[in-house]
Amino acid sequence: MTGVAARRANLVHERELAATALSGDTVATRVAYDAASGCEHLAQQLLEVAPGLSRERTPGACDQMLFVLGGSGVLHLEGVAHAIETESGATIRPGERYTLENRGDVPLTIHSVTLPQPPADVATGTRQVVVRLADQEARAATGARQFRLVTDPTVGCPSATQFIGTIPPGRAPDHFHTYDEVIYVLDGEGILHIGALHEPIGRGSCIHLTPRLVHSLENTGGSTLRVLGIFRPAGSPAEAYYPDGTLAYDYRSGDGQ
């Protein structure tokens, strides 16, 4: 896979995505990855909510994970109002109906991932509709990298894990994961390395990593590179393997590089 084909398969920037909106709706949607672009198990979208109340929405038979990128507002879910703010996550379960309300003067921007065919046999914890990133503890990953969980089965969503990862300057060794993942770059700048592909990334970059795809995210800036990741099946963001299949980081004991 070369040139544009490789780039479109694994990396696109939000500014390259056309926005669409239904008549009378306050929500404009940009689709980064879905089944039509080869991402069959997750659909990654960016929502921009203008001031006012959106039309009623539903994920249908899917789970849906939201993460507020900017602004604040209200998620009206099945008749209950939930305040949402920058760097808070929310989960919509199959069949639920909701609206998004922007009570401010600036757009409310939201990262959305829908997850078809939610598993029926995964044990979940007590449902938390909204989770604030600031309330979540930092956990170690490879090297000096850290992550904070936002949404996963422990808060009632069986389909996937949603997290924020922080990457200090430098490049980790090439590795792969066993899960299917989409990533959105929140802050910083760097390079996505996949084989012969070495593409610059920055805020607004959307990435799709298929299971067992060997890759590396390099932070080439002077500050922390922060990414929002959603992957399925759910698990630990720290689980990683070297190209030869050996465990790069023992996420259960905390040993590794």
Which CATH number is 131-256 given? 2.60.120.10
Supply 241's token pair.
């393997």
Compute φ and ψ for 244, nearest 5 degrees: -80, 0
Compute φ and ψ for 207, nearest 5 degrees: -130, 140
What is the tens place of the pLDDT at every residue in 171-180? 988 999 999 9
C-alpha to C-alpha distance for 134 and 156, rounded to whole angstroms = 19
Taking 60 as the threshold, does the pLDDT of residue 202 lie above it? yes
Taking 80 as the threshold, does the pLDDT of residue 186 lie above it? yes
Query: pLDDT above 90 covers what percent of the chain?
Result: 85
Taking 60 as the threshold, does the pLDDT of residue 5 lie above it? no
Q: Where in the chain is the domain with CATH 2.60.120.10?
A: 17-127, 131-256
Please name the residues in contact with 244: beta carbons below 8 A apart, sequence gap of 6 or more. Answer: none
What is the tens place of the pLDDT at every residue in 205-256? 999 999 999 999 999 999 999 999 999 999 999 999 999 999 986 666 554 4
Place of tokens 């089944």: 35
Average pLDDT, the chain: 92
State the pLDDT at residue 233: 96
144 φ/ψ sector (left φ>0, alpha ψ -120 to 50, else beta): alpha
Taking 50 as the threshold, does the pLDDT of residue 161 lie above it? yes
* Mean pLDDT value of segment 43-52: 98
Asked if residue 211 lies in contact with residue 240, where contact means CB atoms within 8 angstroms, the answer is no
**Topology (CATH) of 17-127:** Jelly Rolls (2.60.120)
Asked if residue 138 lies in contact with residue 170, where contact means CB atoms within 8 angstroms, the answer is no
The pLDDT confidence band at residue 140, using thresholds 50, 70 and 90, is: confident
Strand, coil or helix: what is 125?
coil
- Give the helix/strand (H/E) hosting 1: none
State the pLDDT at residue 248: 84
Please name the residues in contact with 185: beta carbons below 8 A apart, sequence gap of 6 or more. Answer: 201, 202, 203, 204, 205, 206, 207, 225, 226, 227, 228
Nearest to 151 by CA among 115, 187, 194, 191: 115
State the pLDDT at residue 254: 52
Taking 90 as the threshold, does the pLDDT of residue 9 lie above it? no
